[in-house]
Amino acid sequence: LKQVEWQKQIEALFQKIDPADVLPLIDFGALTKDLKIVDSGANSLRPKFPKVEGLPTEYVFGRQIFALKKGRSVVPHGHDNMATAFLILKGDFHGRLYDRVKDEKSHILIKPTVDREFHRGEASSISDHKDNVHWFQAKSETAFIFNIHVLNVSPGKGEATGRVYLDPNGEKLTDGLIRAKRLEYKQAHELYG
């Protein structure tokens, strides 16, 4: 399955899911009972899926829930050799997505593709080929995003899997391009966390 096709299919699947049905399956109440959401960035929670007879118990994808306070962000970043998808479980977000056009030594050329509010039940996805860079900022008092991620989506290329942090408020170029400076994890959280 090609990465962009996976994005279409996972977003279509996520659109069929009512977050109210997901919360009891992952024991959301227990997962968040004593949660103290961090003041910068997001907490990363690891939900467990219930065992269902006939379904595999080993997954080929990672899963997590990001928990954020109002004004805090899943900081701007892209991915190398990875595809991810998000479902808004609770709360509201301002979401921004960008195509990753060209990598430079200290910058990445990006082009905005999505800049809108995301609400409960809405989804988005990224891959190496479409909307590779994303940034979600919580707009409600608390907000929760369910995430799945598939690693090593381009096997055989020898490319490491991981995040690439950047500053999307970089130099504006022609054709809507932005020259975004590469950042370290700490820098990204100081600016956008």
d(CA 46, CA 94): 23
d(CA 45, CA 32): 8
**CATH number of the domain where residue 110 is located:** 2.60.120.10
3-state secondary structure the chain: CCHHHHHHHHHHHHHCCCHHHHHHHCCHHHHHCCCCCCCCCCEEECCCCCCCCCCCCCCCCEEEEEEEECCCEEEEEEEECEEEEEEEEECCEEEEEEEEEEECCCEEEEEEEEEEEECCCCEEEECCCCCCEEEEEECCCEEEEEEEEEECCCCCCCCCCEEEEEEEEEEECHHHCEEEEEECHHHHHHHHC
Q: Whole-model pTM?
A: 0.91
- Asked if the structure places residue 24 within a domain, the reply is yes
Domain of residue 151: give its range: 3-49+61-192
- Asked if the structure places residue 94 within a domain, the reply is yes
Confidence at residue 58, expressed as pLDDT on a 0 to 100 scale: 64
- Asked if the structure places residue 54 within a domain, the reply is no
- Asked if the structure places residue 56 within a domain, the reply is no
Number of domain units in the chain? 1
- Asked if the structure places residue 55 within a domain, the reply is no
Confidence at residue 156, expressed as pLDDT on a 0 to 100 scale: 74
- Asked if the structure places residue 28 within a domain, the reply is yes
Spell out the per-residue pLDDT of the chain, length 193, in tens.
Answer: 899 999 999 999 999 999 999 999 899 999 999 999 999 999 999 998 777 777 666 666 889 999 999 999 999 999 999 999 999 999 999 999 999 999 999 999 999 999 999 999 999 999 999 999 999 999 999 999 999 998 888 877 777 889 999 999 999 999 999 999 999 999 999 999 9
Q: Which residues pair with 98 in a beta bridge?
A: 112, 133
